[in-house]
A and B are shown apart, each in its own frame.
Chain A
Amino acid sequence: SQKIEQNSEALNIQEGKTATLTCNYTNYSPAYLQWYRQDPGRGPVFLLLIRENEKEKRKERLKVTFDTTLKQSLFHITASQPADSATYLCALDMDTGRRALTFGSGTRLQVQP
């Protein structure tokens, strides 16, 4: 079965810097890789996704890359703000057979003012 690794250690960065979060997976590459944000006591909220044939996707201050050779996705937040502090989850969407997403355990980001 698929295993997803996200850095379990919290990531602490200074406001204004770029945060980079990593998502590594085993076995088969998903058709889509999705990123979600989760605040304490709340459900995850979808941010953006990238297809397996795309190298990079941007949305405002967010950028996602996808390397199927390395089996890795990187999630970047540029010009980070304290309001970006949250846990970020990556999820694999296989687009075949089982359609429910498989999630990583998430990385907690703390942006210091």
Chain B
Amino acid sequence: ETGVTQTPRHLVMGMTNKKSLKCEQHLGHNAMYWYKQSAKKPLELMFVYNFKEQTENNSVPSRFSPECPNSSHLFLHLHTLQPEDSALYLCASSQEKGSGANVLTFGAGSRLTVL
């Protein structure tokens, strides 16, 4: 295990469902991220949390709602998604030091299929 655990690994949902993705990091990091990965496209940054505070929302539609109750847990709540939202959703964490390299540790991802 990489130290970042994502559940579920696979999720199939209809467009009217509500579901959540969960991420937990066991590394003592202070920053957590959600990225979206679609086929043949670069990873797209969605949200950044630092010390539980959201520091970046990369123009993500409101049907995606993040929640960070503490610095070890991150959720992505999903509601009325579209088929084009089908992708691999990756959670990552890092120890942001203000300066110096920011190396990310990723989870294995949650493969989402929207029917």
Binding site for B on A (CB under 8 A): 4, 8, 31-32, 34, 41-46, 49, 51, 89, 93, 95, 98-106
Contacts and interface: CB of A to CB of B under 8 A. Distances in A.
B109 A43 contact: yes
B102 A99 contact: yes
B43 A49 contact: no
Contacts, number: 65
Contacts of A102: 42, 45
Interface in B16-63: 31, 33, 35, 40-43, 45, 48, 56
Contacts of B92: 43
B109 A42 contact: yes
Given A95-B102, A100-B45, A105-B40, A43 B56 contact: no
A4 B99 CA distance: 22
B7 interface: no
Nearest to B50: A99
Interface in B55-100: 56, 88, 90, 92, 94, 96, 99-100
